[in-house]
Structure 1
């Protein structure tokens, strides 16, 4: 009896459709697929494949977290990258600089090691980075923050690595006695220059808080150390303030987030194991006001058990824009909370306590056509 005929071979288009469905949150899958045969590797090496892949999946995946530990001494701040499934080869596990922001595939660093008085914008996917001269006349101030944004109008931010960017940087003098203004500068990569500063006088003791800012339209928002929020208008180049929801006396356990697909400012805070989520909405008279969006009882979803090393206090330490995931931390553990599904997931215990965590979202598609591009490495769960 004659052996059965071999199964028909898949045509290239069918194989490409299969490869387009590789999970974007595990870039090591590309390496395994490239080893199947020369045909698969050739399809993955096609210059058009990355754009097709990003268009198919649309939302960049969450690849890991960039965390900065807490200290009142800028020189002791160390940032660390913790991948979820795959180690990004260009990004060192630890580095001597403080992360200020992580957005649109780029990371903004405050350099605190050998390069004094400098900021840097890095692209973890390509390994490229650019040093920026520090515009702050008080470069040792602890009260500094900033955001990095893609500067391409209408960009979908699925693969804007290497394109133009802007940095909005804000700082309050170290000893704010009420006579020195808080300033904001804008850096453009296209002009390679900082703008003149916008300035706003804040009351004595009110300073820029060292947490990540929020970006809504042309407005950038930063928490202050009192009951207010600093607002920078990118189009008008001016600073103003708005208030937190009235019942909060400080922002220490809260964070600014974006809501409604990035069109609204949000504020999230945890009190007595209860998560309160607020959104800033337009009233019928056209004015803006805080509206409570929801209340979540954390003890009903995840046990927060005090130990000898923790008081069981949970703080909001990060927010993943685009996927609506909150990062919650206490002294011993970290958690991801999906605002859409309401699901919790425990993260691996950090080696030190994170004060602020920046989720890194990006497509990481290895360039198999270039020998210069390292391949992702799987990590143990």
Structure 2
């Protein structure tokens, strides 16, 4: 019998020769821009693993709940530019995401979701759907039925994970017939058409100060519904249900008298569900809607 000291020792590098084990190790690298490029420089085996499309899909799925913030898009009056937030070597150059068009006038970011940006080209009365990673862009004319004079609109863009080549745009705003009505229409890139308008009545205590969709706040998606804040002579929440293709109005849980002295926003509540945040001079209130 050999003594413990005389037993052959396995090589320390042996586990890294096991592709399955190595793949699991590399899968847990931080999801930063420099992680996989640096790993690919180690050797041919590592490069083959991290460049495999199946590994890349697993890497994205593994880190999808905690992605890094690479930067943000900042809106100015006439354009949109990317502002990186990370330091080197993970800093993404500002020129990596150049704004794709000369807008010719005022622009407004309506939302970002599923890798797409929705931008309102106010002067042209068009929507721009832009994929900053691929550079793909689609311009959509505002459909009939929306108030063209005030052009107080908001919207959301979305696409399913399995539908990388197709997207939907949900557009909401005031009716061009009655400002006491909110209207919505859905665009499908698959058909290239807008749906028929759906509408709901908006509270109007004062007909001279209409209730409108608040355009400086992006939509919130909870389950299969999208939500926007309503403001004017009445404050509430506008809901668009994607399954039923319907609009409805929800009362906010607090009385708002002077909007200039408070902050309010619609948000996704902890654990899911619709949340509402209200901040005034002397209190902070966080509400969650009960689903019945």
Deviation at 1:90, TM superposition (A): 4.5
Deviations 1:133-188 (A, max 9, x none): 221554563421111122x4xxxx5xx572432211112268x9x55632111111
Match of 2:117 among 107, 113, 124: 107
For the aligned residue pairs, the C-alpha RMSD in angstroms reads: 3.1
**Which residues of 2 match residues 145-160 of structure 1 at below 5 A?**
145-150=154-159, 152=160, 157=161
Preserved contact between residue 223 and residue 251 of structure 1 (Cα < 8 Å): no
The CA distance in 1 between the partners of 2:39 and 2:147, in whole Å, is 51
Deviation at 1:206, TM superposition (A): 0.9
**Residues 251, 198 of structure 1: CA spacing in aligned structure 2 closer, same or farther, 3 A cutoff?**
farther
Deviation at 1:269, TM superposition (A): 2.6
Match of 1:30 among 26, 36, 55: 36
- Flag as ranges the 4+ runs of structure 1 deviating above 6 A: none
Deviations 1:62-99 (A, max 9, x none): 42333435xxxxxx354333333232764227975321
The CA distance in 1 between the partners of 2:99 and 2:75, in whole Å, is 12
Preserved contact between residue 143 and residue 173 of structure 1 (Cα < 8 Å): no
SS in 2 for 1:281: coil
**Which residues of 2 match residues 215-230 of structure 1 at below 5 A?**
215-225=221-231, 226-230=234-238
TM-score, length basis structure 1: 0.60
Deviation at 1:29, TM superposition (A): 2.0
Match of 2:108 in 1: 98
Query: Gapped runs of 5+ residues in structure 1?
Result: 70-75, 287-381
1:238 aligned onto 2:239: no
**Residues 269, 92 of structure 1: CA spacing in aligned structure 2 closer, same or farther, 3 A cutoff?**
farther
Greater fraction of residues in strand: 1
Match of 1:258 in 2: 268
Match of 1:83 in 2: 84
Match of 2:27 among 20, 23, 39: 20
The CA distance in 1 between the partners of 2:180 and 2:283, in whole Å, is 38
TM-score, length basis structure 2: 0.76
Match of 1:306 in 2: none
Deviation at 1:112, TM superposition (A): 4.1
Deviation at 1:190, TM superposition (A): 1.9
**Which residues of 2 match residues 298-309 of structure 1 at below 5 A?**
none
Greater fraction of residues in helix: 2
Which one has the largest radius of gyration?
A: 2
Deviations 1:278-330 (A, max 9, x none): 11114xxx4xxxxxxxxxxxxxxxxxxxxxxxxxxxxxxxxxxxxxxxxxxxx
**Residues 140, 118 of structure 1: CA spacing in aligned structure 2 closer, same or farther, 3 A cutoff?**
farther
The CA distance in 2 between the partners of 1:250 and 1:164, in whole Å, is 43
Q: Which structure is richer in relative contact order (CA contacts within 8 A, separation 6 or more)? A: 1
Match of 2:257 in 1: 249
**Residues 35, 141 of structure 1: CA spacing in aligned structure 2 closer, same or farther, 3 A cutoff?**
farther
**Residues 142, 77 of structure 1: CA spacing in aligned structure 2 closer, same or farther, 3 A cutoff?**
farther
Query: Gapped runs of 5+ residues in structure 2?
Result: 1-9
**Residues 92, 179 of structure 1: CA spacing in aligned structure 2 closer, same or farther, 3 A cutoff?**
closer
1:209 aligned onto 2:214: yes
